[in-house]
Amino acid sequence: MLPKEKLQRINELSKKSKKMELTTEEKAEQKKLREEYLQVFRKSFVQDLHGVTFVDPNGNDVTPEKLKRSKENKNNLKH
Query: How far does Cα 31 stand from its chain's mean position?
Result: 15
What is the pLDDT averaged over residues 15-30?
Answer: 97
pLDDT(79) > 60:
no
pLDDT in tens, 30-56: 999 999 999 999 999 999 999 999 999
DSSP letter, residue 58:
T
Helices 65-78 and 24-50, packing angle to 10 deg: 100
| Extents of the domains making up the chain | 4-78
Which pTM does this prediction carry? Answer: 0.74
pLDDT(76) > 80:
no
CA atoms within 13 A on the CB side of 14: 8
